[in-house]
Amino acid sequence: MSLYKNIFRIESTRLKEYDYSQPGEYFVTICTDEHKCLFGTVIEEDVELSPIGRIVKSCWEEIPKHFHNIELDEFVIMPNHIHGIIIINDNRRDVQSGEMDNNPNGRDVQLNVSTRISPKRGTLSVVIRTFKAAVTTKCRRNGWYEFHWQPRFYEHIINDERDSRNIRDYIIDNPIKWFYDSENPNQRK
């Protein structure tokens, strides 16, 4: 923790020198606040999604519709977290028009805020922030005010095909290993 304007704040876990808008594969984990199991239940080796879990699934699958340079790979929604692989393709060109991505106004077009205080457009952080906001908005509209995300998210830059294969296997096997998972509240008792 560091002190900023006499207030303690948690440092970012992102690599300061790394450009999270550059093409690549990223493994992400996003958790509910206090690890509350709001997304569903693991029954034997499958996750039965709750209504909130179905919203999470829908919003996750819609990410490429809102970010044309994003592809989704393997993902799983667990009772209190989601694991997924996000692939960022070359974002310097708009996929639909083939035009260079210029932003002369200094604003993040997707979020309509000044880029001086926002994460850089096209970065993994903007994708995750937009996803989390969409889920939260839909939950509130449906009266699920108890739903909150844990601040931040975990990410891992996938280095090579072996790393990618291991992470895909981890995602696929996650429901099978739920009983032993450190994210399972029953394991923390």
What digits encode the pLDDT tens for the residues 31-46?
Answer: 999 999 999 999 988 9
Tell me what pLDDT residue 61 has: 98
Pick left, alpha or beta for residue 63 (phi over 0 → left; psi -120 to 50 → alpha; otherwise beta). Answer: alpha
Q: What is the mean pLDDT of residues 21-40?
A: 93
pTM summary value: 0.78
pLDDT band at 23 (very low <50, low <70, confident <90, very high): confident
Helix (H, G, I), strand (E, B) or coil at 109: coil
- DSSP H helix total and E strand total for the chain: 4, 10
What digits encode the pLDDT tens for the residues 69-78?
Answer: 999 999 999 9
Please check whether residue 56 is in contact with residue 38, taking contact to mean a CB–CB distance below 8 angstroms: no
Q: Could you give the domains of the chain?
A: 21-183 (3.30.70.1290)
Q: Tokens 């519709």 map to which residue?
A: 65
The phi, psi pair for 109, rounded to 5°, reads -60, -40
Q: What's the distance, Cα to Cα, between the start and end of the chain in Å?
A: 27
CA 18 vs CA 22, 120, 157: distances in Å: 9, 12, 10
Q: 3-state DSSP: the chain helix, strand, coil percent, rounded to 5?
A: 30, 25, 45
